[in-house]
Amino acid sequence: MKTLFKTTVAASAIALSASVALAEEKVVVYHWFEYIPQELLTKFTSETGIEVVMDTYDSNEAMLASLKAGGIGTYDVSVPGDYMVKIMANEGLLGTIAEGELVNKRNIEAQWLDVDFDPGRKHSIPYQWGSTAFAVNRDVFQGDINTTDILFNPPAELSGKVNMLDSQGEVLAMASLHLGIPQCSTDRDQLRALDAMLQEAKTYWASFNSDTAKEVLVSGDAAAGMIYNGFSAKAREEGANVEYAYPKQGYIAWMDNVVLLKDAPNRDNALKFMDFLLDPENVAALTNWTQYSAGVEGVAPLLGEALRTLPEANPPAEAGPATFIEVCDAQTQAIYDKIWTNVKK
């Protein structure tokens, strides 16, 4: 949270010239909104001669739906969150990276090399990692914010002024933390309680939006909002008096990853793009811009001092546990899909 992802890099924002569109050497990237600096794309093209063609999405689920609806064979790489990598692999949507095809694979930090969602990194590389919780405007509310009540049972000052991410996985995972139940519960009473809690909670929410999660806090259209930690930091940089919360009930940890897609039309160029993003200098430029964290060795000395001490990137000792989104079995997922559909009505 993905992600994280995230200057906006929509397809229109990278406005490709006719010469780019007709270039023989290109890589077609399906990416989160506002999640990579143009300068890095320009550097990649300058070094390799490969043009980057990009479309964007605003949630893991939107990306999955688009790929399943015909995107496979169109795009070379995408940038799913940890749990979505596993789902995509299970559905046969990913290509396989053979040993030795990525020279810079050796730069991946050990903790991110043999991960549960992609053992041995056969389909993916780390992109950025961070957390998802929420930020609160301190001009509006001065009380304790390190509780998930802010989202699901907010104080009067925040009621009707909360923006939620339009992301099923993250919202339902946070809701499960709030209730203290498993993410993939099969207990009917727990599922009924989850559904009922969300139906009441949504009466306190002003909006569902991921791609403007930062903007609504900066503009004041929302006084609190579920948000990625890097977006919260950017909101502060842009003048919003917001504080990022690490709730005692826990918060969501995530890692976004660049995956090689099945039937990638420009497979060799895709691998060059992935290798480029495993170079410490390039990853450091990305991380300094996103204000998240990298999964590549040799990056730390290249990071700015502000990032090393960023409140949003350094959970306090009293913070609740960091929890990754779990992948449910198909039958259980169908129930959660129904709960989410009811929330969005």
Residues 15, 99 within the same domain: yes
Residues 225, 282 within the same domain: no
Residue 300 DSSP symbol: G
Residues 259, 246 within the same domain: no
Residues 163, 39 within the same domain: no
Residues 94, 213 within the same domain: no
Residues 111, 191 within the same domain: no
- Whichever domain contains 235, its CATH number is 3.40.190.10
Q: Which domain holds residue 338?
A: 130-253+314-344
Give the Cα separation of 59 and 167 in Å (integer).
6
Cβ distance 126 to 171 under 8 Å? Answer: no
3-state SS track over 88-150: HHHCCCECCCCCCCCHHHHHECHHHCCECCEHHHCCEEEEEEEEEEEEEECCCCCCCCCCCHH
Give the Cα separation of 112 and 107 in Å (integer).
10
Q: Which tokens hold the place of 300?
A: 């730390």
List per-residue pLDDT tens for the chain, 345 residues long.
Answer: 433 333 333 333 333 333 333 447 999 999 998 899 999 999 999 999 999 999 999 999 999 999 999 999 999 999 999 999 999 999 999 999 999 999 999 999 999 999 999 999 999 999 999 999 999 999 999 999 999 999 999 999 999 999 999 999 999 999 999 999 999 999 999 999 999 999 999 999 999 999 999 999 999 999 999 999 999 999 999 999 999 999 999 999 999 999 999 999 999 999 999 999 999 999 999 999 999 999 999 999 999 998 888 999 999 999 999 999 999 999 999 999 999 999 999
Residues 304, 246 within the same domain: no
Residues 85, 224 within the same domain: no
Residues 78, 214 within the same domain: no
Max distance between CA atoms of the chain, in angstroms, equals 59
Residues 105, 199 within the same domain: no
Residues 211, 74 within the same domain: no
Residues 105, 143 within the same domain: no
What domain count does the chain have? 2
